[in-house]
Structure formats: C-alpha cells, structure tokens
C-alpha cells in the first residue's frame, strides 16, 4: 500500500508542543505514513527546547527567526521558504497548527502547491479581528484554506459550522495539548531531569508561588506596564513568591526587566524548557498569564488561572470556572489575585474543575482520520 506523505509545518513554541505528540504518533506508524517535519523556526531557542524534550528531528529547517522580526517580512519569508520544501517532498497532507503567522503562511504555501491542508486546533474564535492580534485572523484564514478541521471542542466545531464548513470536514478531537501534557508529566515523574534539579536548587518553594507568563502583542506597550505595576503591588505581600519566565520577545523583555528587576520576591527567569515549566505549574498556587496554551493546561493540573486578556477564544475553561478574565487593569489583577490567595472556598472551586479540553487521545483521532482519508490530490498541480 502506498504510504501517505504527511508534512507537519510549525515554527513557534506552542505549535511545537501541540504538534510533538502528533509527530511522534505518525512517526511510529512508518509502515503507513512517510512523515516529515518542516520548521519555519519563527522561534529559535524556545522552539529548540521543545524539539529536544520530545526528541524530534526536523527534516527541513527554514531557520527564519530574526531579532525583533515584523509580520510582513516573516509572512513573506515563510511562504517563499516553504516552496522548495513542498516541491521536494510533494506531501499529500500538510498539517498546520493553530493561529500563528507560521500556521497561516504555511497554509497559503500548501494551497499554492495544491496540497491538502489539515488544521489542528481549528475553529477557535473571539469574533474580534483585533484580539488576539494577529491570531484571530491567522486562524480564520487558515480555516478558510483547510480541507479538514481538527476541532478541539464542540464549541470550536460549532464556530466552523456557523461559517458553513461541511460537518464531515470537521473532526472533534480534543486538544493535542493534553496529549503533550500527559507525555510530559510521565517523563517528569520517571526521569531525574537536570532542568528541574536546577529549579529545586534555585528556589525554596516555602511560600505560595504565583507563576506568570505573558507575551500577547495587544498587551505590548501600555498593557505590559499595567501588568508589571500589578505584579509589583502583589509582591509587596512578602508571604508570596512570584516566578516569571520572561518571553524572549524584546517588547516583553524590556518593560519586564526595567520594572521588575531587583525585587526580592519576584524571580525573573529565562523561558523554561517544557518539562520544567509544567513542573513549575504543578508547584504554583495561582497562574497569571495571557497564554493560550497555559489556559488549556492549567485545569488539568487543578490550578486557577487569571487571564490578562479582555476576550478569549477559549471560553470553555471560563465557563467551567477555572479561568477568570482579568484584562490588564492593574487594580483588577491585584484584587483578584489577593482574593484568590485568601478566599479558600473560591480557590477550591476554581481548582477542582474537570478539564474541558480533551482526554489525551486527540492525536489518535487525527491519525485515524488520516488513515481513513483518501489520497487524491486537491488539484491538477
Ligand atoms: C508568536 C506568535 C504568537 C504565539 C507566540 C507564542 C505570531 C504573529 N505570533 O509571538 O501567536 O502565541 O509566538 O510564544 O505568530 N524571540 C527570540 N527567541 C525565540 C523566540 C522569540 O529571541 O525563541 C524573539 C525574537 O526577537 C523575535 C521576537 O521574539 O523576533 C518575536 O517573535 P515572534 O514569533 O514574531 O512573536 P511572538 O511574540 O513570539
Ligand atoms: N511554556 C514553556 N516554557 C515557559 C512558558 C510556557 O514550555 O517558560 C509552555 C506552556 O506549557 C504552554 C506553551 O508554552 O504549553 C504556551 O506557549 P506561549 O504562551 O508562548 O504561547 P500561546 O499558547 O499563548 O500561543
């Protein structure tokens, strides 16, 4: 039987985390699939950390990241860079993930090459073109180009149905982030990992710990100034520790290090390898973040999350009660954090919610679809 040729194209940390279990599942079935990974390397160090942890090797690496890169040049470079890859491998399916510039531009390139496109984590919407920016449009445009939509929840499936996408083109799979988390937690439990040993050496973990991450473009500027002001106020309570792995985007690094360096109970650290970050999430009392992936992982670990955004394309955890949207207003972030630290009833209600994002079998469902799918090419290319 002719093997199906599958190209996974991704480029940032969260895409890598969420595509890694799928790449591993496809690579395991070498008798049915010829699988290749193309990294755009929109991220570099933060992407390589994930590739190393999951022991994945790329077949193509466009190595595109530039310090302080802009959306125009990055988009053009991805589309242009994908051309020789697609001409060399001639995949039956190109799988892209989520809502980054890599997802959208790789989907455009795959469309130009006449390949079928599978969109993993499809159908999330805020219905606000400007938030998250540019992710809402990246995800919508990728959906428009895709032949099959792997929707994580029924809410995301319904969003796609409302855009007149045929039901048979949508598979509800759960989110592959839970597959990744299960693999990660298992390894953390079994192995004596150096990244975790380092954290154990550096911190005492003798006080309630608040874990912080943030990077959204719409929070750059004013938003980050308000967020840092809030963290500074929270840190005036000496009974808490704040650990903040700071994203490498210069628009994040500058305000965070300018405003929060030198405060005794605020610990600014480099972005953590995935295994160390999920270990830290487990150690945290509360997580304050604007990250998409962290919102999805935290309910599995029983951690309340304050999300520094006004709107979210992930309403499920808000509805379930484990996530509260606090925006970037300084007073609101401080008030909600202090309340959660003191109000035990509210804390336990938020911490004991069932994860709405899946059962850890999302990759199995995607692989099954690809096994069953017919192999006909999309076009006459
Ligand atoms: C990108 C995605 C965003 C995703 C986020 C995950 C877009 C437009 N943005 O945002 O959707 O949620 O990744 O983290 O697709 N940098 C490094 N090393 C790295 C990574 C980044 O130095 O490993 C620095 C570089 O200066 C780079 C800058 O960060 O130019 C911005 O990276 P970019 O991918 O454009 O934006 P992010 O804010 O990371
Ligand atoms: N993460 C990580 N190290 C860190 C911070 C986050 O490995 O120092 C992981 C986290 O577990 C989650 C993902 O990165 O799976 C989220 O990535 P990010 O917040 O950069 O992007 P988003 O999910 O918002 O697109």
Residues of the chain falling short of pLDDT 50:
379-381
Q: Which of 32, 217, 267, 365 is catalytic?
A: 217
Q: Which two tokens stand for residue 264?
A: 């005794």
Query: CATH number for the domain including 66?
Result: 3.40.50.2000
Ligand (nearest to CA of 314): 2
Segment 195-236, tens digit of pLDDT: 999 999 999 999 999 999 999 999 999 999 999 999 999 999
Quick one: 102 exposed, middle or buried, by C-beta within 10 A (0-12, 13-18, 19+)? Answer: buried
Q: Does residue 312 form part of some domain?
A: yes
Domain of residue 102 covers: 4-174+361-379
The answer to whether residues 227 and 326 belong to one domain is yes
Euclidean distance between CA atoms 18 and 12, whole angstroms: 10
pLDDT for 304: 96
Residue whose Cα lies nearest atom 14 of ligand 2: it is 14
> Cα(100) to centroid of ligand 2, in Å?
13
Gyration radius of the chain's alpha carbons: 20
pLDDT for 250: 97
Segment 25-62, tens digit of pLDDT: 999 999 999 999 999 999 999 999 999 999 999 999 99
The answer to whether residues 332 and 288 belong to one domain is yes
Q: Does residue 267 form part of some domain?
A: yes
Q: Does residue 336 form part of some domain?
A: yes
Answer yes or no: 217 catalytic. yes
pLDDT for 354: 84
pLDDT for 37: 98
Task: Report the number of distinct structural domains present in the chain.
Answer: 2
Whether 21 lines ligand 2, by a CB cut-off of 6 Å, is no
The answer to whether residues 148 and 223 belong to one domain is no
pLDDT for 380: 43
pLDDT for 358: 92
């Amino acid at each position: 039987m002719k093997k199906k040729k599958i190209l996974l194209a991704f480029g940032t940390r969260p895409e890598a985390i969420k595509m890694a279990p799928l790449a591993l599942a496809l690579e395991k079935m070498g008798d049915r699939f010829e699988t290749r990974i193309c990294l755009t390397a929109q991220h570099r160090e933060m992407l390589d950390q994930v590739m190393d942890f999951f022991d994945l090797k790329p077949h193509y690496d466009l190595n595109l990241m530039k310090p302080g890169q802009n959306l125009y040049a990055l988009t053009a470079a991805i589309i242009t860079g994908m051309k020789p890859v697609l001409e060399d491998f001639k995949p039956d399916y190109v799988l892209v993930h989520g809502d980054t510039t890599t997802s959208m531009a790789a989907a455009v390139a795959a469309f130009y090459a006449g390949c079928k496109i599978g969109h993993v984590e499809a159908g999330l919407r805020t219905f606000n073109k400007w938030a998250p920016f540019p992710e809402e449009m990246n995800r919508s445009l990728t959906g428009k180009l895709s032949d099959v939509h792997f929707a994580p929840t029924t809410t995301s499936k319904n969003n796609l149905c409302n855009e007149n996408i045929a039901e048979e083109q949508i598979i509800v799979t759960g989110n592959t982030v839970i597959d990744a988390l299960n693999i990660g937690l298992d390894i953390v439990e079994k192995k004596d990992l150096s990244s975790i040993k380092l954290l154990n050496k550096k911190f005492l973990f003798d006080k309630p710990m608040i874990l912080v991450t943030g990077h959204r473009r719409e929070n750059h500027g004013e938003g980050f100034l308000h967020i840092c002001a809030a963290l500074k106020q929270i840190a005036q309570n000496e009974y808490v520790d704040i650990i903040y792995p700071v994203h490498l985007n210069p628009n994040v690094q500058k305000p965070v290090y300018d405003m929060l360096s030198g405060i005794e109970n605020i610990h600014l650290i480099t972005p953590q390898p995935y295994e160390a970050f999920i270990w830290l999430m487990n150690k945290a009392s509360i997580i304050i973040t604007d990250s998409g992936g962290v919102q999805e992982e935290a309910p599995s670990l029983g951690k309340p999350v304050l999300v520094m955004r006004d709107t979210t394309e992930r309403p499920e955890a808000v509805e379930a009660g484990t996530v509260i949207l606090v925006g970037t207003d300084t007073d609101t972030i401080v008030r909600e954090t202090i309340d959660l630290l003191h109000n035990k009833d509210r804390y336990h209600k938020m911490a004991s919610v069932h994860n709405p994002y899946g059962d850890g079998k999302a990759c199995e469902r995607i692989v099954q679809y690809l096994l069953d799918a017919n192999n006909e090419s999309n076009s006459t290319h």
